Chains A and B, each alone.
Chain A
Amino acid sequence: MALVDDTSLKDGALRMSEATAGDYFALLKPRVMSLVVFTAFVGLVAAPVSINPMLAVVAILAIAIGAGASGALNMWYDADIDAVMTRTATRPIPSGRVAPGEALVFGLVLSALSVMTLGVLVNWLSAALLAFTIFFYAVVYTMWLKRWTPQNIVIGGAAGAIPPVIGWAAVTGNVSLESVILFLIIFLWTPPHFWALALFKSQDYERAGIPMMPNVAGEASTRRQIFAYAVILAPVGVLPWVLGYTSVGYGAVATLLGAGFLWYSWKVLVMPQDDRAMRPAKALFGYSLLYLFGIFAAYLADCVVERVLAIGGA
Chain B
Amino acid sequence: MADDKLEMIELTESQKKARRSRSIAIGLALGALVVIFYVATFIKFAHSMPNGSM
Given known A3-B7, A16-B9, contact A24–B25 (CB-CB < 8 A): yes
A22 contacts across to B, CB distance below 8 A: 21
Contact A21 B21 (CB under 8 A): yes
A242 shortest CB reach to chain B, Å: 37
A55 shortest CB reach to chain B, Å: 6
Confirm or deny: B1 has a beta carbon within 8 angstroms of a beta carbon on chain A. Answer: yes
Contact B7 A58 (CB under 8 A): no
B10 shortest CB reach to chain A, Å: 10
Contact B22 A21 (CB under 8 A): yes
**A1-42, CB < 8 A from B:** 1-4, 9, 16-22, 24
A19 contacts across to B, CB distance below 8 A: 18, 22
Q: Mark A54-78, 1 if CB is under 8 A from B, else 0.
A: 1100100100000000000000000
Confirm or deny: B51 has a beta carbon within 8 angstroms of a beta carbon on chain A. Answer: no
Q: Mark B17-32, 1 if CB is under 8 A from A, else 0.
A: 1110110110000000
Given known A1-B1, A21-B21, A121-B44, contact A16–B7 (CB-CB < 8 A): no
B31 shortest CB reach to chain A, Å: 14
Max chain A C-beta neighbours (<10 A), residue from B11, B37, B40: B40
Contact B7 A24 (CB under 8 A): no
- A contact residues, range: 20 to 34
Contact B36 A61 (CB under 8 A): yes
A3 shortest CB reach to chain B, Å: 7
A9 contacts across to B, CB distance below 8 A: 9
Contact A21 B39 (CB under 8 A): no
Confirm or deny: A273 has a beta carbon within 8 angstroms of a beta carbon on chain B. Answer: no
Max chain A C-beta neighbours (<10 A), residue from B1, B15, B18, B41: B18
A12 shortest CB reach to chain B, Å: 14
Kindly report which residue of chain A lies nearest to residue B19, judged by CB atoms: A17
Kindly report which residue of chain A lies nearest to residue B25, judged by CB atoms: A21
Given known A1-B1, A1-B3, A16-B9, contact A54–B43 (CB-CB < 8 A): yes
Q: A9-B9, A18-B15, A61-B36 are in contact. List 5 more A-B contacts (CB 8 A).
A: A3-B7, A16-B11, A54-B40, A55-B40, A55-B44
Q: List 17 A-B contacts (CB under 8 A).
A: A1-B1, A1-B7, A3-B9, A16-B9, A16-B11, A17-B15, A20-B18, A20-B21, A21-B22, A22-B21, A24-B22, A52-B47, A54-B39, A54-B43, A55-B44, A121-B36, A121-B44
